[in-house]
Structure 1
Amino acid sequence: MRNLTNKGTRTEASGATEAEISSSTPEDTPNSNERDARDAPDGASIALPSHVAGSGTLDRLVDTARDYAKASTAENTNKAYAADWKHFARWCRLKGTDPLPTSPEMIGLYLTDLAAPTNGSLALSVSTIERRLSGLAWNYAQRGVSLDRKNRHIATVLAGIKRKHARPPVQKEAILPQDILAMVATLSHDLRGLRDRAILLIGYAGGLRRSEIVSIDVHKDDTTDSGGWVEILEDGAVLTLNAKTGWREVEIGRGSTERTCPVHALEQWLHFARIDSGPVFVRTSRDGNRALDTRLSDKHVARLIKATVLKSGIRSDLPEKDRVALFSGHSLRAGLASSAEVDERYVQKQLAHASAEMTRRYQRRRDRFRVNLTKAAGL
């Protein structure tokens, strides 16, 4: 049972949704939905050999194997890859061809149209085009077809797109200590405010991805869609996460004061929401006074960050639109990497980065000239 002893009202944090602008996107055509459904793999490539007769046991095993195949990639990745295939399939039909069998020549033209669209649409970034190509390769593999990305019709076109259009990556702004304190100060003290305060502080101190924040349960195996669980100890909290890089533990120590302590914020949320099992972060009722059973979406974290950035006045020197665009879920991870005054290897471990170089990409204000090779070389 989940209810509240504290009273108060507050509306859910709102913010602009972020939609990727796709080039060369045709309008829906008759029967396009049926054809898209036909093209989607949905684990259909997992099946019994043609020479084996089906049975109840084997059919159940096929269904389970399809579930495992679907779980081989993250849910958000599956959605992105499905959207990539749908876009490519419709583009092919608009050009009078079909996505199957694979055609390196047509894929090369498709990449060209993404980089330099002929219909007035905005061009996609190089990183997005590369992601689209990865999505196509994955989709072809699910259909038992190999896509040779080294084929000259693909590789040379992509190399030319990179050479002509590549730009330095646009990094999201890091949320610094004074920023996160200002952000949580904008939250009310009703149930919804307690929840959002815990989300921001846990996400910041843990250097967590937004999907990791909302995926945790109170205990191991509480739910089938769990991404991990939390154990609260005297000195802090230990999160066991099944995340992008596999299983890992994230240790979050207690803060110097209750006002800034992420573990205390988490304890307050769990106590007043009366959550003793299942998802840690769930939706609340419209009045913000009662916890529901539904797990929050990771999109809530992004909206929460943007909304509290605006309310707290961070980067008030910029127009509101630019301020919203500067911050995202990754701003929490970048904030920890930029602000933690500890040996770099500890930050690397917390963020689960495979290399120190990746960690440095998250450090927005590190001492770049701590090692001065110019002076070391005698100049």
Structure 2
Amino acid sequence: MENPSSLPVLIPTRTHALVEMPASVGRYAEAGLQGAANTQRGYAADLRSFEDYCQHHQVSYLPAAVTTVAGYASQLADRGKKFATIRRHVAAIAKLHQLAGQPSPTTHEALGVVLDGIGRVLGKRQRQAPAFTVAELKQAVRAMNLTTPTGLRDRALLLLGFAGAFRRSELVALNVEDVELTRQALLIHLQRSKTNQYGEAEDKAVFYAPTADYCPVRAVQEWIECLGRTTGPLFTRMNRGAAGVPGRPGLARLSDQSVNDLVQRHLGPAYSAHSLRASFVTIAVEAGQSNKAIKNQTKQKTDAMIERYARLDDVKRFNAAQYLGL
């Protein structure tokens, strides 16, 4: 009997033809079709919603007609979903058809017209997470109980997340062994990120601050000392302590949602985990840093992304009228 691993691999393409590849490329083709883990989870939920819609309206789910996808997108818009969320649902439907080797209705020009109309009605700009100030961050740190492991963890996560312009997914994926202390800075070795899906070497540098209480380097060092290990997840959940006794660090990683909850608990409900990154960009732009210097930390690819992340619409905080010399 032939070994299944030696069989040729059939890869569905966007032109709906199946391309036969040698078995040796099988695992790479599978990884390319599946995409990142976070994307897979998001697509799975979106496709369950689409399947429910198709069953309710008694229309074909796979392959789906362009009128079906247009009706589904319109219903999402009527329910108040954000335009970016609707586009993600459509992308999930496109991936479903690609994996099945079926013609995708999402490439049809008529659907593009409907989506453009939805974008115009809803407004394409998403509600963006606001940027906090350095003063607000310091105030949040001062309010923490740094005699407890939870306080040490939360301070390290907020200061590192801000100073390193981290995404929440990057923070929760960090391991202790990804952190390297040098004389000049704390180097964080990223194994993988949203813009680095191929695991290429990518580092961030976090620098010492004059005041120890607000120094991200010292905060991370103190947290690692509290962990008491040299490998494994950097930011973890706490084990439940006895009555009146603070919990100790566990081994389970924090979740993406936990990071969001942590930011809101310390900085307020108006902010989110994305505010860590947005605040870095905003404050760096205000300080006159070049786009090149900012991108070196954020790992963004274009200047347009700097414009998108910078929260510079506060007329009192960022306005050339302050510098007229009157």
Q: TM-score, normalised to structure 1's length?
A: 0.70
* 3-state SS in 2 of match to 1:252: strand
Where 1:237 maps in the other structure, the secondary structure is: strand
Question: Contact between 2:184 and 2:207, CA under 8 Å: does it hold in 1?
Answer: yes
Aligned equivalents of 1:362 and 1:56: distance in 2? 48
Count of paired positions: 291
Q: How far is 1:160 from its partner?
A: 1.9
Structure 1 equivalent of residue 101 of structure 2 = 144
Asked whether the 8 Å contact 1:176–1:335 carries over to 2, the reply is yes
Of 116, 128, 131, the match for 1:159: 116
Following TM superposition, by how much is the alpha carbon of 1:368 offset from its aligned partner in structure 2, in angstroms?
Answer: 5.7
Q: CA deviation at 1:146?
A: 3.5
| Preserved CA contact (<8 Å) 2:47 2:93 | yes
The residue identity in structure 2 corresponding to 1:297 is: S
Match of 1:87 in 2: 49
Q: 1:239 is aligned with what amino acid?
A: I
2:225 equivalent to 1:243? no
After TM superposition, the structure 1 = structure 2 runs for residues 1-379 of structure 1, keeping only pairs within 5 Å, are: 54-55=2-3, 58=6, 65=27, 69=31, 73-116=35-78, 122-166=79-123, 168-189=125-146, 190-219=148-177, 229-241=178-190, 242-246=192-196, 247=200, 248-287=202-241, 288-310=246-268, 324=269, 326-340=270-284, 341=287, 342-365=289-312, 367=318, 369=320
8 Å Cα contact 2:207-2:217 kept in structure 1: yes
Please give the per-residue CA displacement for 1:65-98, whole angstroms capped at 9, x wherever unaligned.
2895289522221111011111101110111123
**2:63–2:104 Cα contact (<8 Å) kept:** no
* Counterparts in 2 of 1:70 and 1:347: CA distance versus 1, 3 Å: same
Q: AA paired with 2:203?
A: E
Distance in 2 between the 1:71 and 1:262 partners? 38
Are residues 124 and 56 of structure 1, via their aligned partners in 2, closer, same or farther at CA, if it must alter by over 3 Å?
Answer: closer
Structure 1 distance, partners of 2:295, 2:309, is 10
- 1:130-188 Cα distance to aligned partner (Å, 9 max, x none): 12111211222122223143413312221222233325432211021111111122221
Q: CA deviation at 1:193?
A: 1.1
- Provide the aligned C-alpha RMSD in A: 2.6
Q: Is the 8 A contact 1:218 1:280 kept in 2?
A: yes
The separation in 2 between residues aligned to 1:339 and 1:232, in whole angstroms, is 25
More helix by share: 2
SS, match of residue 149 in structure 1: helix
1:334 to partner: Cα distance: 1.1
> Where does the alignment leave 5 or more consecutive residues of structure 2 unmatched?
8-22
Whether the 8 Å contact between 2:263 and 2:273 is mirrored in structure 1 is yes
Distance in 2 separating the partners of 1:178 and 1:257: 13
Give the Cα–Cα distance (whole angstroms) in 1 for the partners of residues 34 and 59 of structure 2: 31
User: Quick one: distance in 1 between partners of 2:167 and 2:33?
Assistant: 19
Question: Cα offset for 1:245?
Answer: 0.9
Deviations 1:48-69 (A, max 9, x none): xxxxx5437559x89x828952
Following the alignment from structure 1 to structure 2, what is the Cα–Cα distance between the partners of residues 364 and 156? 31
Tell me if the contact between 2:34 and 2:40 (Cα under 8 Å) persists in the aligned partners.
Answer: no
Structure 1 distance, partners of 2:228, 2:139, is 27
Q: Does the CA contact (< 8 Å) of 1:176 and 1:336 recur in 2?
A: no
CA distance in 2 between counterparts of 1:308 and 1:167 reads 30
User: Aligned partners of 1:273, 1:348: CA distance in 2, in Å?
Assistant: 31
Change in 2 beyond 3 A, CA 1:160/1:363: closer
Whichever residue aligns with residue 158 of structure 1, its letter is: L
Name the CA distance, whole Å, in 2 between partners of 1:367 and 1:199. Answer: 28
* Identical-residue share of aligned pairs (%): 28
Give the C-alpha shift of residue 293 in structure 1.
1.4
